[in-house]
Amino acid sequence: MRLTPLGLDGAILIEVDRIVDARGHFARVFCADELADAGLDVAIVQSSVSFNAKSGTLRGMHWQTEEHAETKYVRCTRGAVYDAIVDLRPQSPSYLRWVSVELSADNQRTLYIPKGFAHGFQTLCDDTEVFYQMTARFAPDAARGARFDDPAFAIEWPAVPRRIMSDKDLGYPDFQA
Ligand SMILES: Cc1cn([C@H]2C[C@H](O)[C@@H](COP(=O)(O)OP(=O)(O)O[C@H]3O[C@@H](C)C(=O)[C@@H](O)[C@H]3O)O2)c(=O)[nH]c1=O
């Protein structure tokens, strides 16, 4: 695996090294020992799948507060997404900055998102599946969100003819820094 820092403190892009043969290829996408040696949090307690029927579906921006804060490993296992994260840790050198990466079934990348970040994605094609693993269990009372177009972050999203979003995600008030 190859680990590349993304410019926001602690956020990392994990890429695979493919071992190719006549059948196709093999690649490791997660190794607790190797990732822990690199300083990553590997204490995964839940994994979830998000299926998105239509291109232009946007979920986010989401996080959990305080003791429920979660590190996430995010992969796209079918189709492709534009994935965006925002550093919401006030003490961080990258506070309120965002980055995006394209994750797809083809590129087999994993986005490592530390605790204290908001996370969201927009699908780039129909029938897209996102698989993600977390180090904290889902805690609805600790779940928080910010609007994808919040001016405090000004994330640049790919243009789409129509964005498909939940009412919850459309309704967050402006983020209060
Ligand atoms: C996230 C989550 C939701 N749910 C339920 C709550 C609700 O009834 C239904 C759909 O929830 P949501 O609308 O919040 O799902 P969704 O918008 O897909 O939420 C996800 O968005 C991405 C961007 C993330 O980063 C994830 O951590 C998660 O917050 O599933 C669970 O039971 N467990 C979970 O872990």
**CA 55 to ligand 1 center in whole angstroms:** 18
pLDDT at 8 over 90: yes
- Mean pLDDT of all residues belonging to the chain: 97
Does residue 109 line the site of ligand 1, with CB under 6 A? Answer: no
The residues that are catalytic are 62, 132
The string of pLDDT tens digits covering residues 37-64 is: 999 999 999 999 999 999 999 999 999 9
Closest Cα to atom 17 of ligand 1: 59
86-91: long-range contacts at Cβ-Cβ below 8 A with a sequence spacing of 24 or more?
Answer: 86/61, 86/117, 86/118, 86/146, 86/153, 86/155, 87/8, 87/9, 87/11, 87/116, 87/117, 88/63, 88/116, 88/117, 88/118, 89/9, 89/116, 89/117, 90/177
Query: Ligand 1 centroid vs 16 CA: distance in angstroms?
Result: 27
Assign 177 a pLDDT band (cuts: 50, 70, 90): confident
- pLDDT tier at 99, thresholds 50, 70, 90: very high
Nearest CA to ligand 1 atom 7: 140
Domains contained in the chain, CATH given: 2-160 (2.60.120.10)
Q: Is 48 in the pocket of ligand 1 (CB under 6 A)?
A: yes
Distance, CA 6 to ligand 1 centroid (Å)?
A: 25
What is the percent of the chain with per-residue pLDDT over 90, rounded to a whole number? 99
Instruction: Find how far residue 94's CA is from the centre of its chain.
Output: 17
Taking residues 129-137, report their average pLDDT.
Answer: 98
* pLDDT of amino acid 158: 97
